[in-house]
């Protein structure tokens, strides 16, 4: 379960159908992020996830 800020609700919401994705950053780095839908209004949400500590 991932929580993020919904731009429409202007509040912290639980993401529905959340998916973990990787975004290519500068210098060949990859950042983990999650996308999903706001549980309340269905607006698409996006959130960067903390780096994986290996
Ligand atoms: Zn919302």
Sequence-ordered list of residues with C-beta below 8 angstroms from that of 48, at least 6 positions apart, any chain: 31, 32, 33
Q: Distance between CA 29 and CA 20 in Å, rounded?
A: 16
DSSP 41: T
The pLDDT value given to residue 26? 86
The pLDDT value given to residue 43? 97
Structure tokens at 20: 């973990």
Per run of 10 residues, the mean pLDDT along the chain (length 54 residues) is 93 96 90 95 93 65
User: Could you tell me the pTM of the whole model?
Assistant: 0.77
Q: What 3-state class would DSSP assign to 11?
A: strand
Domain ranges for the chain, please list them.
3-48
Q: What 3-state class would DSSP assign to 9?
A: coil
The pLDDT value given to residue 52? 65
Beta strands (DSSP E) in 1-54 are 3-6, 11-24, 30-38, 44-48
Q: What is the Å distance from ligand 1's center to 35 Cα?
A: 13
Q: What is the Å distance from ligand 1's center to 14 Cα?
A: 9
């Amino acid at each position: 379960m991932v929580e993020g800020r919904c731009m429409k609700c202007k509040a912290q919401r639980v993401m529905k159908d959340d998916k973990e994705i990787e975004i290519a950053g500068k210098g060949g780095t990859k950042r983990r992020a999650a996308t999903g839908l706001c549980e309340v209004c269905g607006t698409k949400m996006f959130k960067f996830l903390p780096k994986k500590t290996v």
